[in-house]
Amino acid sequence: MNSLFNQDQVVYSFDACSLIKASGVLYPMDNFPSLWNEIEELIRNDRLKMSEPVFDEAMRGAVLRDWCSEKGLKPFLLSKVNDSVQGDFQTIIADYPKLMRVETNSSLADPWVIALAMQYPNGVVVTEEQPAGNLSNPKIPDVCKDLEIECVNIAGFVSKENWVF
């Protein structure tokens, strides 16, 4: 881990949809370069992470893949799955089996987003998903609420960091 890491600092576990939507729709890199410079800085300071399955999903798009490659961010952004993350992932899918929508081949990475946030005392999940409002067919925000893990969208993330552009 980067020597700048402090246990009191927030560490963000990003869902692929947040970076994909931010880069392609909400805050395109060409139009919001200072935002992306700030995001890059958080990544380099080990405060913005993606678990391996989520990272792989996010890198399917050329914009993020090229940006990550050009900036050399993969070693900082990608968090390899370890035994602790794997254990939390297993617990999440056991307790919230409908979080993974296997039948549609979507949301397979969702439990990984939450499991990674659980590794940090101040882990925060960032996702663009809207809560379903129930735990029988939950979305990421529903599970986070149930597990008492803070969950914000990209605008909430920017606000939480007190960034002004």
State the Cα–Cα distance between residues 112 and 80, nearest whole angstrom: 11
Q: What is the pLDDT of residues 35-68, one digit of tens each?
A: 999 999 999 999 999 999 999 999 999 999 999 9
Count of domains forming the chain: 1
Q: Which domain holds residue 21?
A: 16-160
State the Cα–Cα distance between residues 18 and 127, nearest whole angstrom: 5
Residue 2 has pLDDT above 60, yes or no: no
Q: What is the pLDDT of residues 114-141, one digit of tens each?
A: 999 999 999 999 999 999 999 999 999 9
In a domain, 165, yes or no: no
In a domain, 3, yes or no: no
Residue 111 has pLDDT above 50, yes or no: yes
The CATH number of residue 114's host domain is 3.40.50
In a domain, 6, yes or no: no
Residues 6+ apart with CB under 8 A from 107: 99, 100, 101
In a domain, 144, yes or no: yes
In a domain, 40, yes or no: yes
In a domain, 71, yes or no: yes
Count of other CB atoms within 10 angstroms of residue 145: 15
In a domain, 44, yes or no: yes
In a domain, 22, yes or no: yes
**Cβ proximity of 161 and 48 under 8 Å:** no
Task: Identify the band that residue 102 occupies on the pLDDT scale cut at 50, 70 and 90.
Answer: low
Three-state DSSP class for residue 124: strand
pLDDT for 8 equals 76
Determine the residue type at 144.
Answer: C
